[in-house]
Amino acid sequence: MGIGITELTVRIVVLAKQVPDPETPPSQFKIDESTNTVIPPNGVPPVVNGFDLTAVEAALLLRDSGADVEITVMSVGSDFVMDAMKKPLAMGADRLVLVDDSGLDNIDSAVTVRVLAAAIEKDGPYDLILGGRQASDWDQAHVTLGLSEVLGLPLVSLVQKLELNGDSVSLQRVIPDGYQTITAPLPSVLTITNELGEPRYPNLRGIMQASRKKPEIFSLADLGISSDDLVPKLELKKLYIPESNKQVELIEGEDEADSGKKLALRLREEKLI
C-alpha cells in the first residue's frame, strides 16, 4: 500500500495506450508498405489515446466528487515517449506503471490483454478498472472487454457517467438513443466513452508534479512471461492507404446564394431529391 492509502481508498487502474496522433492531417499520414507500419510524421509526437484520457478524467471526477481514490495508469508497449505518457500524471493521476519490453513491439489485442492482466495482478489490489472505448490506431475495441473475461470481472461498456456508492458503482451506459442506468459491483471493468466530457488540461502544478514522478516499469520477465509465448492471433498481411477516385463536382453560381440554388436544382436533375 502506498503512502496515504487506506482500507477505504478506492484503487482505480486506468488503461492507457500510446498511439500516433489521430489529428495528423491525412496528407501527412503515410505507410511503409514494406514493413506494414505507419511512418510517424515528422515532428508529430505520439499521444495517449484520446478515450484513455477520458477514462483518466472519469477517475479524476470521482476524486473531485469527494471519493478517496488512488489512480494508477497502466500501459503495455515499447518505445514509450515519456512526454506523452506522463500526461495522465499531469492531469492528476497518482502512478504510472509501464510494461515496457521490446518483445511487445508488434502485438495484437489478445496478447495485450494477457500482459495487462498479468501486470494488474502483480501490481496489487484494485477496485475498478477503466479503459477507453477503443484505441485510435487499430480501432479494435477489444482490450478492455477482453480484460474483463481474463480477470473474470463484470463488464460495463460505453460508460458516460459514474458514481461510487460504497462497494458498488452507479453508471450511465450510452445506447444509440439515450442511456441505460446500471449498478455494478466493485471490482468491475468499465469502458469509458467521450460522452463523459473532455479530459481536463493539465495545469502548471500538475505538469511540475508529473515531471518529478518516475514511472514504475515491468519487463515481460518480471511478469513471468516469455515473448515466445506471445503469439498474435491476427497476422497482419498488408497495410495500405485506400485509394479514392471520387471526383467532386463543384457547383459555382454567381455568388454563394446562387450556388445554393443551383445545388438544389442539380440534385433534382440527378433525381436525388
Partner 1 sequence: MTSILLVAERDEQGEINQSTLQAIAAANGLLDAVVTVAISGEAPASASALAVEKIVTLAVVSIADEGIYDQATAEISALVESTSPEVVIFSKSDFGSIVGARLAFRSDSAFAADCIEISNDGGDGVSVTRPVYGGSALAEFEIASKPAIVTLRAGSYEAGNETGSPSIEAFDSGASVEQAASVTGTVAEARDGVRLEDANFVVSGGRGLGGPEPFSVLTDLANALGGAVGASRAACDAGWIDHSHQVGLTGKSVSPDVYIAVGISGASQHMAGCSSSRAIVAINKDADSNIFKEARFGIVGDWEKVLPSFLATVRELKA
Q: Which of positions 227-256 make contact with partner 1 (CB under 8 A)?
A: 233-242, 244, 246, 248-252, 255-256
Specify the residue for cell string 506471445: 230
CA dist 142 → 21, 47, 111, 133, 240 (Å): 20, 20, 11, 9, 22
List C-alpha distances in Å: 143 to 112, 121, 168, 208: 7, 16, 23, 31
- Please pick, from the candidates 103, 146, 199, 202, the single residue that binds partner 1 as defined by CB under 8 A: 146
Residue 86 CA to residue 73 CA, distance in Å, equals: 9
**CA–CA separation, 132 vs 124, rounded Å?**
21
Burial class (CB in 10 A: 0-12, 13-18, 19+), 9: middle
As measured in angstroms, the least distance from the Cβ of 51 to ligand FAD is 7
Per CB under 8 A, 264 contacts partner 1: yes
Q: Are 123 and 116 in contact (CB under 8 A)?
A: no
Considering CB distances under 5 to 8 angstroms, the limit depending on partner class, which of partner 1, ligand FAD, none binds residue 50? ligand FAD
Looking at residue 175, its amino acid is I
Q: Using the 8-state DSSP alphabet, how is residue 269 labeled?
A: H
User: Using CB under 8 A, which of 12, 98, 130, 145 touches partner 1?
Assistant: 145
Q: x-or-dash pattern for ligand FAD, window 4-33, by CB under 6 A?
A: ------------------x-----------
Using CB under 6 A as the binding rule, whether residue 92 contacts ligand FAD is answered as no
Residues 128-147 within binding reach of ligand FAD (CB under 6 A): 134, 136
Under rule CB under 8 A, which residues in 150-189 are in contact with partner 1?
Answer: 150, 154-158, 173-185, 188
User: Pick from 11, 17, 46, 50: which binds ligand FAD (CB under 6 A)?
Assistant: 50
Least CB distance to ligand FAD at residue 23 (A): 7
Angstrom distances, CA of residue 25 to CA of 20, 42, 136: 12, 12, 14
Please report, as residue ranges, which positions from 41 to 80 form the binding site for partner 1 (by CB under 8 A): none
**Does the protein bind partner 1 through residue 266 (CB under 8 A)?**
yes
Q: Which is nearer to partner 1, 136 or 227 (CB)?
A: 136
Q: Which is nearer to ligand FAD, 50 or 146 (CB)?
A: 50
Reported as type and span, the H/E element at residue 43 is none
Q: Are 206 and 91 in contact (CB under 8 A)?
A: yes
Does 259 sit near partner 1 (CB under 8 A)? yes
- Would you tell me which residues interact with ligand FAD (CB under 6 A)? 22, 50, 134, 136
